[in-house]
Chains A and B, each alone.
Chain A
Amino acid sequence: MGTRQKLPEARSDSQATYLPDRHMFALWTWADGAVGAAPPVGDVETVPLVVPTPDLGRLKVSDVDCVLIEPDRLVAVPLDSPGRSVDVWRSWIAGGESALPIAAHAVPDATGVAVTTPEHASGVFRRTTAVGAEMRTALTANLRPYQVRGVSWLRETIETHSGAVLADEMGLGKTLQTIGCVAGRAEKGPQLVVCPTSLVGNWAHEIARFAPDLRATIWRGVPLPAVDSGTVVLTGYPTLRTHSPALAGIQWSTAVFDEAQVLKNPRTQVSKAARTIAADARIALTGTPVENHLDELWALLNLVAPHLFGNRAQFRRRFVRPIADGSPAASARLRGAIEPVVLMRKKSQVAGSLPPKIHADLICDLTEEQERLYDRLLEQVIDDGFGSGAQRQTKVLAVLTSLKQVCNHPGLITGDLGELSGRSGKLDLCTDIVANNLENDSPTLVFTQYRQTGELLVRHFAEQFGVSTPFFHGGLNQEQRADIVRRFQSHDGPKVLVLSLKAGGTGLTLTRAADVIHFDRWWNPAVEAQASDRVHRIGQTRTVTVTTLTTGTTVEEHITAMHNRKSALSDIADMSSVAELTRLDDDRLIEVLRRKRVN
């Protein structure tokens, strides 16, 4: 209490602390020797910062009420009596380089014994601002501030450690950040992206969309196409496993491993193949919370930066065992130790720069079984013709339905529903997402149009995760429906809920979930949006993530394209699109339905 001598300017000053990982500023106030209320310029959240004790005798870590804002807003945001830290950062934004007081860089390390140096804070700020300017021309997307930081972090980390693990929570745009980094390295040589087979098409799509100057080539194990600077080779893990010798002798400038938790066991063939790839820089992407799977984390670290972390046995003794025994000191130590090469951000941390709803439109690939079946169905249709008159519309609708079911799962058509995994690119991808959400304790809604698909999902989730998933569909009576909703909304309710788009799309409030997956596409975007709004309603406090799954090269892509054309017009009758197709002549119609071959 005693000596509160020198506090000349401490009357409710506003302060600005730069958060390097998020490329945002935390605004807070200091009044009469203590942290005051956050300035009234946005949503309040608590951030651990280093602040003085009331007598200014010592510094300690404490949770501070802050408002987080993006750098662009710091200059203009109205603040009462801005402190030196605010002035200094405003001058940095204007291009100056004044010395930073501690308040300006008061971010503590994981163990709470150290604070970010002013050189690090200002260096990150300057480099990230520069990368932001560069990305505005290099990519055709507007990066959010934390994404710009992701790109600059990847660059810095690759430069110092030649490897990096980007472990942002799903939905924050790891793919986009990686493309930003890859685009900047195009001149250094060919680059390689390895991902689950069901995502290869999505990578090709996103690269074409965001960095059209890059040449993305899908490699499926045929002789490797000529690779040179500016080329990005995309391939799946199974191809890597079986054809890795073809990659020997190529020096890649960058190798990216998406969904790298696939490589969690270092003894598997695919992990061995991954380690033989010669690359100047290795980037591993994962959305699973790595802190919960330490052996997996070690495998990733060993893949991207083998020189940094001793052998597995030591890693286990030092971190895995004490953390399993519940030592908080050991987990803080681990966070400190991996911090140089692992960047891990959560949606809640960057919520200030997220819209209330994130859309993730994923393109998945057909398996060979699906391709064969899809083509066979279409051949048959060509032979039979569509007929004419009223019969034509019925026939078109039936064909569309069966093709869409092939995209969902081939077993829905063939009746072979024994083993489900590995046969539908879409189901596998959806399973990965749900697995991820289960890890993160994020309840998930999965919408489908088809009763049979819904039942298949329920069964698959039970087999994969041992969870019992309720299915909300039109065949239930009012009481059963109410019961499902009530159970889902309760605190320890089911982790996954499957709904039929028609029955579950309106009226319900399911705000316990913040994640929605549309397993198949419906003609009218308004119907999908309305279904997504089951979670995006009053009472929802988190950022909602809406994922749509579209099977590339198929009729589903056609549906998506129609969405994009008419998403502004929400009143279009559901079936008008089908009617439109019916009016086409047979040849044109077949053309729409036929698989578009890529590469």
Chain B
Amino acid sequence: MADHDYGYTKWGKDWVRFAESLRQTRPDPQLPSARRMVRDGKVQITFDGRTVRAAVHRGRGTTVVTIEVAPMSAGATAEISRQLSGIQPLLTDDLYRAIADAGHPPAPVLDSVDCSCPAATPRCVHELAVYYDMARRIDDDPRIALDVQGFFRTSAGGGQAPAEATAQRWIALNSLDPAAYFTVAE
């Protein structure tokens, strides 16, 4: 039961996999406490493009975890844009499967993971907690899974925009130039 609390969508599941690798054969005693930290709200994540920064509070101390996510491959970006064109307002599991079946699994790749704690183990509990918290957030809103891989930046940034998104409905606030608010930009 408990293990279904995180990653009940396929999009979130990808992040649970970082904590619970399929290759892992022995139970990791750090996992339950990492999950408890998430449940107790000890993890605070902020995003900066493809960088995930998390302050993890444990005991009296706070450690900072920084994760760099690799940009999504051009092929996957194109495939997802194609699938998303107009029709799919929500990223469902069916859509995930369709994208994976087309040969572009949207699972993220991590470029680097860094934690400020002094633990000598290859994986510390703070890092694991961040994976679970990411899974939780993505279950709530799968767009984060794409956003953190730079998907919306490439497609909104013009230039390389892979989809001819017909009459796109929304445009991100932070991609607009406030100077063009009252007059039309040249």
Contact = CB atoms under 8 A, between A and B. Distances in A.
Interface of A: 6, 9-10, 13, 15, 30, 50-53, 56-60, 83-85, 88, 98-103, 106, 108-109, 112-117, 119-120, 123, 160-161, 307-310, 314, 317-318, 322, 330, 333, 337-341
Contacts of B90: 308-310, 337
B176 to A, nearest CB: 6
Interface stretch (B23-31, B35-43, B111-119, B178-186): B178-186
A30 B182 contact: yes
Contacts of A114: 170-173
A333 B171 contact: no
A286 B172 CA distance: 31
B157 interface: no
Given A310-B92, A318-B139, 13 more contacts: A9-B183, A52-B178, A52-B181, A53-B178, A56-B179, A113-B173, A114-B173, A116-B171, A307-B94, A314-B8, A318-B141, A337-B89, A338-B89
With most chain A CB atoms within 10 A of its CB, the pick from B93, B141, B173 is B173
A310 B8 CA distance: 12
B182 A322 contact: no
A64 to B, nearest CB: 13
Interface in B2-23: 8-9
B184 to A, nearest CB: 5
Contact of B139 (A113, A309, A317): A317
Given A117-B168, A160-B86, A103 B182 contact: yes
A125 to B, nearest CB: 12
A30 B182 CA distance: 10
Which secondary structure dominates where chain B touches chain A? loop
B140 A333 contact: yes
14 contacts: A52-B178, A83-B182, A84-B182, A102-B181, A114-B171, A115-B170, A120-B169, A160-B87, A308-B90, A310-B93, A318-B139, A330-B140, A333-B140, A339-B89
B121 interface: no
Contacts, number: 110
B177 to A, nearest CB: 8
Given A109-B170, A117-B168, A56 B178 contact: yes
Given A117-B167, A117-B168, A59 B176 contact: yes
A333 B144 CA distance: 12
Given A310-B93, A318-B140, A337-B90, A59 B181 contact: yes
A325 to B, nearest CB: 12
Nearest to B90: A337
A83 B182 CA distance: 7
Contacts of B184: 84, 88, 98-101
Nearest to B169: A120
Given A9-B182, A58-B178, A115 B171 contact: yes
Contacts of B88: 308
A310 B183 CA distance: 42
A115 B180 contact: no
A13 B182 CA distance: 10
A267 B18 CA distance: 39
B178 A317 contact: no
Contacts of B180: 101-102
